[in-house]
């Protein structure tokens, strides 16, 4: 069974149709890349799937259940977690408390050891006592991922997790995401640098001006005329 299916998703902001009739599925254990130029509607799709926005039309099916319109906290309990394009920690809390909150919120668990495990997973355990607001950008991105993982999701949606990372941090993150996927985690990764998507994704959905313009294996999608045109002048092509 597919972990996620979206059908006919549509969302407007005033007169702007940010997402138009978008449909796709994500299979269990799959990494789906969601790509497209700036303003294509990628984050809006992710906001719709995770309940931060309600669609004007269309449906969202998670593990066979229609969850359209469910709020974020309900979706987290069901196993849907996300990270944000702009990192968003509890700034005045320590790194470890940021994880503790996520653990408690989802599963009612109070366990420092468990929180440290998630920090170790992303390579942040050595900074556990620091205030989140004092972390450099790369570490904030890791914290954001650890927080999402602490809710033990079955589906993790990442909004440009590689943005602003150094080459070394990016390759560490690539390894972490591959490892999590090998352990069975299903993922949707938003990215607009095609190279990253090519290396991680099993399948790619391409958005442009709110519409799905292509879908397929990364190697097929980069050859697609519509995709090349959408990206012309952009920072693509592998
Ligand atoms: N809350 C909002 N109110 C009004 N317009 C919005 C809102 N959120 C997004 N938009 C508009 O909807 C369109 C799609 O935005 P979205 O953030 O989904 O694109 P994106 O593909 O994630 O772009 P980027 O690569 O820059 O992150 C853009 O034109 C954007 O300005
Ligand atoms: Mg975005």
- Ligand index nearest the alpha carbon of residue 207: 1
Using a 6 Å cutoff on CB, does residue 44 contact ligand 1? yes
Using a 6 Å cutoff on CB, does residue 81 contact ligand 1? no
DSSP output for 4-61? EEEEEEEEEETTEEEEEEEEEEEETT-EEEEE-STTSSHHHHHHHHTTSS--SEEEEE
**Angle ∠(78,109,136) on CA atoms, nearest 5:** 85
Q: How many angstroms separate the Cα of 3 from the Cα of each of 64, 174, 190? A: 8, 22, 17
Protein residue closest via CA to atom 5 of ligand 1:
13
Tokens of 181: 């996927």
pLDDT tens sequence for the chain (238 residues): 899 999 999 999 999 999 999 999 999 999 999 999 899 999 999 999 999 999 999 999 999 999 999 999 999 999 999 998 887 788 899 999 999 988 887 767 777 888 999 999 999 999 999 999 999 988 999 999 999 999 999 999 999 999 888 888 888 889 999 999 999 999 999 987 777 888 899 999 999 999 999 999 999 998 899 988 887 655 544 4
Q: How far is the CA of 135 from the centre of ligand 1 (A)?
A: 27
The full set of domains in the chain, from first to last, is 1-73+157-162+186-238 (3.40.50.300)
Name the pTM for this structure. Answer: 0.92
- Ligand index nearest the alpha carbon of residue 231: 1
- Ligand index nearest the alpha carbon of residue 36: 1
* Strand order across the 57-62 sheet: 16-27, 2-13, 57-62, 65-66
Q: How far is the CA of 152 from the centre of ligand 1 (A)?
A: 28
Protein residue closest via CA to atom 16 of ligand 1:
41
List alpha helices for the chain, DSSP H.
Answer: 42-49, 72-78, 95-107, 112-122, 137-150, 167-182, 194-200, 218-221, 225-231
Cα separation of 149 and 67, whole Å? 21
Using a 6 Å cutoff on CB, does residue 29 contact ligand 1? no
């Amino acid at each position: 069974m597919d972990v996620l299916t979206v059908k006919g998703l549509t969302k407007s902001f005033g007169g702007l149709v940010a997402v138009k009739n978008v449909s796709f599925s994500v299979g269990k254990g799959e990494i789906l890349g969601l790509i497209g130029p700036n303003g294509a509607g990628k984050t809006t799709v992710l906001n719709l799937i995770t309940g931060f926005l309600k669609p004007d039309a269309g449906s969202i099916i998670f593990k066979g259940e229609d969850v359209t319109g469910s709020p974020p906290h309900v979706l987290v309990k069901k196993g849907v977690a996300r990270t944000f394009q702009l990192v968003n920690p509890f700034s005045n809390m320590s790194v470890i408390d940021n994880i503790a909150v996520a653990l408690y919120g989802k599963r009612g668990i109070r366990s420092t050891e468990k929180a440290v495990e998630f920090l170790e997973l992303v390579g942040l355990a050595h900074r556990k006592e620091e205030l989140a607001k004092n972390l450099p950008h790369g570490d904030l991105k890791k914290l954001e991922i650890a927080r999402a993982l602490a809710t033990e999701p079955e589906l993790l949606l990442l909004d440009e997790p590689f943005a602003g990372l150094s080459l070394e941090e990016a390759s560490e993150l690539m390894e972490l995401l591959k490892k999590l996927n090998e352990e069975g985690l299903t993922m949707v990764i938003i990215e607009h640098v095609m190279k990253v998507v090519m290396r991680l994704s099993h399948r790619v959905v391409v958005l442009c001006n709110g519409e799905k313009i292509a879908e397929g294996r990364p190697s097929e999608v980069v050859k697609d005329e519509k995709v090349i045109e959408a990206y012309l002048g952009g920072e693509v092509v592998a």
